[in-house]
Amino acid sequence: MTPPGSRPDRATALAQYRRRAGIYDLELLLFEPIRRRAIERLELRPGGVVLDVGCGTGLSFVGLRERIGAAGRIVGIEQSPEMIAKARHRVEQHGWDNVTLVNAPVAQAAIRGKADAALFHFTHDILREPRALANVVRHLKPGARVAACGLKWSRPWAVGVNLAVLAAARHSVTTLDGLREPWNHLARLVDDLRIESALAGGVFVATGVVRRR
């Protein structure tokens, strides 16, 4: 992990998720209520197109498809070959033909068309990369909804919570930069950003709307 104030490190992240790919789904069980809340905040409609940014093994696909239906489309973006292989297996198992997977760093991902919404579920490193966020927002329609969730520092006196956040961060992010307000780069690109806290302040859900030009 790089020190506070440092940029995310792609090589470290790839190694990290290579190690975690086999147990990732189990590790994220605690945060499933947060995933559901973030997906709800997207206010998706049948036939909608949604970007699942840093989609990992595709754990959000079921919840997203429940809302957009078979006529909608999911674009999952993930830089880890090991994680996207699991996402691809999930798609094949379910026979979903409306999920497109893009194996690339988000900043360089080739995204076709314009989407109605974007989800960032526990993607701290991506939220700390302005170029990655700009690439996503460029491919969202004006008025599209964005939901991001993940770890954050709680109040300074919540020592136990912050120790738990640190322990989780040490094997899931490559920089501690921005853990006080992980959404601050995103706030420059969307309007009406609203922040909710969960799990004693150690987790956030941020939702906003892409500016209408």
User: Which regions in the chain score pLDDT beneath 70?
Assistant: 1-5, 213
Domain CATH number, residue 151: 3.40.50.150
How many Å apart are CA 177 and CA 93, to the nearest integer? 38
Judged on CB neighbours under 10 Å (0-12, 13-18, 19+), 195 is middle
Range of the domain at 48: 10-210
Please report the pLDDT score of residue 2 as a whole number. Answer: 54
| Phi, psi torsion values for 13, nearest 5 degrees | -65, -45
Please report the pLDDT score of residue 6 as a whole number. Answer: 73
Residue 3 lies in a domain: no
Tokens at 188, concatenated: 């420059």
Q: What is the pTM of this model?
A: 0.95
Query: For the chain, what is the domain count?
Result: 1
Residue 139 lies in a domain: yes
